[in-house]
Structure 1
């Protein structure tokens, strides 16, 4: 396919891509369960390492499906194979740092090498083939770290896998540069609208899986006024987090990408932002489980870090993206993060139910503010384009 014809293609998200996302968002619940069972700084580090592994494989495969066209039979087969490997890998999350490190690491390294080599050989343009050779070079660095960590005992495994995860995440964030050889995104043909829709759907599915995790906690808790109130309060918090992006925010993203000369850069930033976004949702899910289980119990530093730190990660990622990409709509989000931090300190000694209700107040104020902010930004964008 020539560059010109490749540039003219505008594809909607295929059902296979959405199916693929469901397999990887299955990991949200698995990561939350691991953190809940290992509620310590080491448990948080283990959860973060596995979260990076999950999202790196999702990001690489999703970019492949966009660059290589998921309508092509070879690309569809690649996505299906990665789905199968990813399902098995994600199922091992609760056991990866216990008795099944190889069951987690082997599917992961196979995905990394398969996706990179496949794209390096079959990409439709020389620029893309060269890019994926650089991606493969980064994988050659991280894969031995993953395998060495799997061979280690539980203690040192975290250090090896943390190094591997750092390589994979930095590769995604930086677009896998090599010395004197890096991707020039301004000259790259890219179906940005397709990838924007992928990100949009992936966020919805992440929120949906978080709802399921919290719903399980509600099901296991006794039915009384405090539990019901805590459950409803957590649901309100999730609705507000959803509205903070989908109440006009996605339109700003789409409008910005449609008008920018470098369409890949803001999409890369949005994909990079999925790491802290997912981390925030996992933290909130675990904090919600604790609050729903003991709504009238004692507050704690751990609970405050989870209940308020999760939304901070989620919202500050949005603030970073808006500041870096549009220079607008980020101030209100930053102020909300400061409010979350203050609320987390104030509620250290309050019952978990009170923490949930205060979290709701901050989030509702943020959503009301963002409705006006997004409307104003979109009006300015429309006026600027003469539409």
Structure 2
């Protein structure tokens, strides 16, 4: 980064009252020490539109799991969720470093939103027929819009910072060309090539920032990830609510659904509590820590959304509409719940814990998995375990204080 760019003050603070951008600004880096840095209304709108695609992937996963198509469902879900998460994450870190909130920036971000809606429209085809055309087109739209952002940053930079921006633009462009090639390949070859494409996408930030790092803001990044976690958990609650409502309307089996509904609510409430039990921005002190934390949230977001899919399957199982056993239906809830607990612990909860509190979440994840054996009552048991995990954590924290 040139000394001129580093010293240049950012033209605005992205506070809640900023609504009148100038037509065009220089896209210079924002300071990592900028005070009062919060998520903008555009970023919140971006998240809400992205969760549409999350909801689509979750519904299709629930359908495949309920039908017993575990392999196809999980493969489609992992692929679709990667595309959603990776595009979201790249925009989030770029915005933390370069958000200038001018007209070109806003328009380009809206193009990215259009891309995720195209991707969402293609998710049912992806699950039903392994037709990836529409999903890939939506993904490429999002990523090429990101290229224009990096080229704008390169135009305003000099020296090493300009090189970082150009490497990002070149790397993303090459990856999108690769996805175009994937579309032309036979279906049996795609299964081998797609993982290579995913690895190439993941490597772009590592290569681009090998010699110099962008100036992301720790408080802003922590807030952005927290907000997306909230939205995904909200989508989980909504999906479970719709499933319960539909089951009651069709079968009038409210009594059979109460344990699933109660257990699901306890899991969602506990998931929120555990994630936000401690602030995490102080842990994000270096690029290495931030990269591991940011990449690891693929599992946090993916498992949080999958809990909602599992609750839909558990509801269908309770009214005898799922084509899987009660134990398998319970596993669709307990497995993602256990994954969520252990991942949140590994990424940031463990850094603020000592003594017995250090093993609380790992022990809770094992106990949740054990609830799978309870069959029809397993979801309620898992909810009680997660609630007890939160209660013990609160008591241990009070004792420490």
- TM bucket (normalised to shorter chain) is 0.7 to 0.9
Match of 1:62 in 2: 92
Cα offset, 1:192, TM superposition: 1.8
Cα offset, 1:18, TM superposition: 0.1
Cα offset, 1:209, TM superposition: 1.0
**For the residues of structure 1 that align with 2:142 and 2:130, how far apart are their CA atoms?**
21
Cα offset, 1:184, TM superposition: 4.2
**For the residues of structure 1 that align with 2:395 and 2:143, how far apart are their CA atoms?**
43
Check 1:46–1:130 CA distance in 2 against 1; reply closer, same or farther (3 A cut).
Answer: same
Check 1:84–1:56 CA distance in 2 against 1; reply closer, same or farther (3 A cut).
Answer: same
TM-score (norm 2): 0.80
CA offsets 1:129-178 (integer angstroms, 9 cap, x no match) = 3223333344345324422333345554444333323332x337xx3226
Root-mean-square deviation (Å) = 2.8
SS in 1 for 2:163: helix
* C-alpha contact 1:66 1:194 (8 A) present in aligned 2: yes
Check 1:163–1:357 CA distance in 2 against 1; reply closer, same or farther (3 A cut).
Answer: same
How many pairs were matched up? 359
Check 1:82–1:166 CA distance in 2 against 1; reply closer, same or farther (3 A cut).
Answer: same
**For the residues of structure 2 that align with 1:333 and 1:137, how far apart are their CA atoms?**
41
CA offsets 1:323-377 (integer angstroms, 9 cap, x no match) = 7866756522111122223333x33xx22xx011110121012111222455678
Out of 270-279 and 147-156, give the one that drifted further.
147-156
**For the residues of structure 1 that align with 2:293 and 2:257, how far apart are their CA atoms?**
36
- Structure 2 runs not aligned, ≥5 long: 10-29
1:34 and 2:60 aligned: yes
Check 1:62–1:336 CA distance in 2 against 1; reply closer, same or farther (3 A cut).
Answer: same
**For the residues of structure 2 that align with 1:93 and 1:131, how far apart are their CA atoms?**
33
Match of 2:359 in 1: 331
CA offsets 1:17-62 (integer angstroms, 9 cap, x no match) = 0000011111221111221233321320121011101100001111
- Structure 1 runs not aligned, ≥5 long: 380-387
Aligned pairs for 1:1-387 within 5 A: 2-4=5-7, 5=9, 6-7=30-31, 9-10=34-35, 11-39=37-65, 40-96=70-126, 98=129, 101-123=132-154, 125-126=157-158, 127-152=160-185, 154-168=187-201, 170-171=202-203, 175-177=205-207, 182-185=210-213, 188-222=214-248, 223=252, 224-246=254-276, 248-249=277-278, 251=279, 253-257=280-284, 260=285, 262=286, 264-295=287-318, 299-300=325-326, 302-322=328-348, 330-344=358-372, 346-347=373-374, 350-351=375-376, 354-373=377-396
* C-alpha contact 1:119 1:132 (8 A) present in aligned 2: yes
Check 1:221–1:128 CA distance in 2 against 1; reply closer, same or farther (3 A cut).
Answer: farther
Which ranges of 4 or more aligned residues in structure 1 deviate by more than 6 Å? Answer: none
* C-alpha contact 2:46 2:113 (8 A) present in aligned 1: yes
**For the residues of structure 2 that align with 1:331 and 1:14, how far apart are their CA atoms?**
37
SS in 1 for 2:207: coil
Match of 1:382 in 2: none
**For the residues of structure 1 that align with 2:303 and 2:215, how far apart are their CA atoms?**
33
